[in-house]
Amino acid sequence: MRLLRPRLFAALALTPLLAGCFASQGGEAKGGGDGGDGSRLRVALAFPPAERFSPYGADATILSRLGVAEGLTVMDANGAAAPALAQSWRQEDERTWVFTLRDAEFQDGTDVTPSAVVNALTRATRAKPAPAALSGVTLTAEADGEREVRVRTAEPDPILPLRLSSPHLAVFSAKAYGSDRGEGRVDPVGTATGPFELTGVDGASSAALDRFDAYWGGRAQSSGIDARFIADGTARANALRTGEADIAEAVPVSQAATLDRDTRHDTATTRTTSLLLNASSGPFEDPKLRAAARAAVDTSALAEGVYEGYADPGVGIYGPAVTWADGKRTEPDGRAAAGRARGTRVTLATYDNRPELPEVAQVLKQQLEKAGFRVDLEVREYARLESDALEGEFDAFVLARNTLLDTGDPVAVLASDHTCDGGYNIAQLCDKDVDRAVTAAERTADPGERQDAAMAAEAEILGTDAVVPLVHQRIVTGVGTSVRGVVLDPYERALVGTGTRR
């Protein structure tokens, strides 16, 4: 069996919420003022750093959500590349792009120069394992004069500007990669370019950030951030409810009703929860049994029951937050007719780092058993079952996946998750028609045509019944009534910005 590379978050550490844990390290301004120098934001985050804040793994999202790090580009509300450290770019040929840098400064006082950007991108290409945004991509970068960086790829990459918006490809000063560090080690403390500077880290428990007054995008309205990593969703909700936190991310749906209506905000996201059926071994190698499992699933019961309305029933790999997808979606052709389960025993697995997933799996167990399957349920922390899942040890797996997180490109998740050589193919799907459709999408440069090709590939994938979309998640963010300017980002890359204040 081929080796598969993990792409999801590592396990969470359960961090209890202690009284007073959000004591400000600076003065505090109460109420809904303009966020003067005395105000600091207290933020409760769900996922603690698992890799010492390395930008090359899951911790990259923490750095981007807190406004610490950024890359050459950023993804805008429409899912397109927009200027960040690069103020503009142009394509010289199908393998070469030139990015013109804006005047910007690193948090250690050094200038953002072409050589600094080249160093950062080159370090990312050498990281082990490779950042998800560079999966299957070979690129080189070189300085061109005082303002420009030329980036070349081994193969044509029509989405390179969008790829460079990934939090995994954030740019840091030379100091971050000190000479005594091995490849893949990056120290983001005081070396990034965002509006907030990471000044102190207390393991997987907390982090302190101060405003970076020289930020190219303008001075932030809050003087800093006191962040605590609280894996327990009930504790995060309690922190907001008791006034110990100003912002609480990823409030579990079971806790949403405990928050006042004006403090809970739900946002459609690009995260889809799916049932993945092992198409290469075990009972679900039979497409008729996969069709039977798909027919047994009631997605509305999951959206309204488990997610209490904070999710939309699954319609595809891409959900409502991918606004262009619905109008381009087509029904799969050639699906197998549903067979009869006749007591077939299957193992269904999921992880408990996302609190709704075990309940989703329990409901699926009941639905599948009603259809004649016998289901053994296995729930572990993600880190304790990832390798087994990637090796195809389970017959079925419930996975929550942000379809646009790694690169912002809709085709990337199809290639990594659903092709024969995909690095995150938990369904063990290897279908020549799927591979052909995904390859065609990867080669399409025009944005609209690329979307069409992605939807054609989605139809091929869904036609195998190896992937059963369950729900498209709406994330609940708790925001104190005195707080303004929280970024409710469907891509889950941003949370705090220059305009966030209390």
Query: Per-10-residue mean pLDDT for the chain, 502 residues long?
Result: 34 32 34 50 92 89 97 91 97 96 98 98 91 89 97 94 95 87 78 97 95 97 97 94 96 92 94 97 98 98 94 95 90 94 98 90 98 97 91 97 84 93 94 97 90 96 98 96 95 95 94
Pick the CATH number of 69-185 from 3.90.700.10, 3.90.76.10, 3.90.1720.10, 3.30.360.10: 3.90.76.10
Q: Measure the CA–CA gap between 194 and 197, rounded to whole angstroms.
A: 7
Residue 488: how many CB atoms within 10 A of its CB? 15
User: Regarding the domain delimited by 269-474, which CATH topology (the fold level of the hierarchy) does it fall under?
Assistant: Dipeptide-binding Protein; domain 3 (3.10.105)
The beta strands (E) that lie in 306-387 are given as 311-313, 345-351, 374-380
Sign of the C-alpha dihedral computed for residues 425, 427, 430 and 436 taken in this order: negative
Would you list the DSSP string of 435-457?
HHHHHHHHT--SHHHHHHHHHHH
DSSP of 197-250 = EEEEEETTTEEEEEE-TT-TT---SSSEEEEEE---HHHHHHHHHTTS-SEE-S
Nearest one of 215, 169, 223 to 194, comparing CA atoms = 215
**Beta-sheet pairing, 467-479 with 311-313:** antiparallel
d(CA 490, CA 352): 22
Token pair for residue 248?
Answer: 């609480």
The first and second tokens of residue 289, run together, are 């049994």
Looking at residue 37, its pLDDT comes to 53
Task: Look at residue 65 in the predicted model and tell me its pLDDT.
Answer: 97
Spell out the domain ranges in the chain: 1-67+194-260+481-502, 69-185, 269-474
Residue with tokens 């792409």: 7
In a 13 Å sphere around the CA of 162, the CA atoms on its Cβ side amount to 19
Checking phi first, is residue 384 left (phi over 0); if not, alpha (psi -120 to 50) or beta? alpha
SS3 content of the chain, % helix, strand, coil (to 5): 25, 25, 50
Q: With contact defined as beta carbons under 8 Å apart, do 498 and 219 qualify?
A: yes
Residue 127 CB: number of other CB atoms within 10 A? 19
Report the alpha-carbon distance of residue 337 to residue 288 in Å, rounded: 6
pLDDT at res. 179: 66
Q: Report the amino acid identity of residue 327.
A: G
Residue 264 one-letter amino acid? R
Backbone φ and ψ for 44, nearest 5 degrees, come out as -105, 115
Q: Taking the CB of residue 138, how many other CB atoms lie within 10 A of it?
A: 12
In sequence order, the 6+-apart residues with CB closer than 8 A to the CB of 370 are 296
Can you identify the CATH homologous superfamily of domain 1-67+194-260+481-502?
Answer: Periplasmic binding protein-like II (3.40.190.10)
